[in-house]
Chain A
């Protein structure tokens, strides 16, 4: 049960974002820009960064939700599963391996990012903006994962919930739904 009273029909992050709309607005805006805004990284690649960081922060809600979003965008389920197991042997480009390695270092601590890992990403063709966005996406999910688990929000166990959430994220992005969330009440 969550540590604070949240709408029962909005598990995970959504209940928190509705509980505190003033703080939710900039968090949603930042996420929309980073994960859905113009970028030379695909939306699928950016969702993989979110997935890897959430997985390493042991946040089941965020990991399952962003895995679902990545799977829909990539059209397959193997890549998201493999990057969670092992970045280096996963079926992604050398550039993505280097960026995911940086994201994994950020998950530990900002100080864990090495000049070598950044150099490797640059040699694999990563631009400064791609490196910037990778670090900020990884840092942002260190916020989300702590927010979601730190207040003990509900983590649904039904896979159908995450499939629906993944579809909602891909249709609407990270902005608040214009009609709100009342319609999700069963």
Chain B
């Protein structure tokens, strides 16, 4: 049960933003601009960074939902998502994406863990300033979202089908929910 009186059986962050829509709005706006706004990283890649950080933070709700969104966006290449979550370095991700995921993994631990060598390695593989910025901010943002979702012990569904449907909705974008039931 959640630590505060949110509506029961509403999963994860949805229950929290319905409890406090004032803060929910900028939270959803941030997810939308970071994960769906203009970027040279694809939406699928950005969702994968989100899922990877959530996995490392052991946030089952965020990991499962963003992995589902990433699978949906990767389409025929969806196996990459599970490969990365299983063993990032051995996965079929491009070397550039691996270097960015490596930076995201450092950010997940702590900001000061990121070294000039990590950044140089990503640049050598073609990452530009904006991609490095976006990777760090996505990883930092999910260090927030994960703590929000688990810190208040919001409801975490266990049925994979629930996340599959969630991922399909999320792939279309992040809009603040106005009611407990998804449209």
Which of B110, B129, B133, B147 has most A Cβ within 10 Å?
B147
Q: A150 is contacted by which of B20, B59, B107, B144 (Cβ under 8 Å)?
A: B107
Chain A residues contacting B74 (CB-CB under 8 Å) are none
Main secondary structure of the interface of A (DSSP, over half): helix
Contact of A110 with B151 in the complex, beta carbons under 8 Å: yes
Mask of B105-119 contacts with A, CB within 8 angstroms, 1/0: 011001111101001
Question: With A26-B33, A27-B30, A150-B106 known to touch, is A33 a contact of B111 (CB < 8 Å)?
Answer: no
In the complex, the chain B residue whose C-beta lies closest to that of A153 is B111
B93 CB-CB contact with A under 8 Å: no
Which of A59, A113, A146, A148 has most B Cβ within 10 Å?
A146
Q: A26 is contacted by which of B26, B113, B133, B148 (Cβ under 8 Å)?
A: B26
Looking at B65-73, B79-87, B134-142, the stretch in contact with chain A turns out to be B134-142
Question: With A26-B30, A131-B3 known to touch, is A148 a contact of B150 (CB < 8 Å)?
Answer: no
- Interchain CA distance A140-B144 in the complex, whole Å: 5
Chain B residues contacting A8 (CB-CB under 8 Å) are none
In the complex, the chain B residue whose C-beta lies closest to that of A119 is B3
Q: B16 is contacted by which of A19, A113, A132, A142 (Cβ under 8 Å)?
A: A132
Chain A residues contacting B33 (CB-CB under 8 Å) are 22-23, 25-26
Question: With A3-B116, A147-B137, A151-B136 known to touch, is A106 a contact of B151 (CB < 8 Å)?
Answer: yes
Mask of A14-39 contacts with B, CB within 8 angstroms, 1/0: 00100110110111011001100100
Contact of A113 with B3 in the complex, beta carbons under 8 Å: yes
Determine the interface band of chain A, counting residues with CB < 8 A from chain B.
35 or more
Mask of A108-119 contacts with B, CB within 8 angstroms, 1/0: 011101010010
Chain A residues contacting B112 (CB-CB under 8 Å) are 58-59, 149-150
Contact of A145 with B111 in the complex, beta carbons under 8 Å: yes
In the complex, the chain B residue whose C-beta lies closest to that of A111 is B150
Closest chain-A Cβ to B45's Cβ sits at a distance in Å of 16
- Interchain CA distance A22-B35 in the complex, whole Å: 12
- Interchain CA distance A26-B138 in the complex, whole Å: 14
A4 CB-CB contact with B under 8 Å: yes
Please give the residue numbers on chain B whose beta carbons come within 8 Å of chain A beta carbons, in ascending order: 3-5, 16, 19-20, 22-23, 25-27, 29-30, 33-34, 37, 57-59, 103, 106-107, 110-114, 116, 119, 129, 132-133, 136-137, 139-141, 143-153
Nearest 7 CB-CB pairings of A with B:
A110-B150, A149-B111, A146-B140, A139-B147, A26-B29, A30-B26, A143-B144
23 example contacts (A-B, Cβ-Cβ < 8 A) are as follows A23-B30, A23-B33, A25-B29, A26-B33, A30-B26, A34-B23, A37-B22, A59-B112, A102-B151, A109-B146, A109-B150, A113-B150, A113-B153, A115-B153, A128-B4, A131-B152, A133-B20, A135-B152, A136-B148, A138-B147, A144-B140, A146-B139, A150-B112
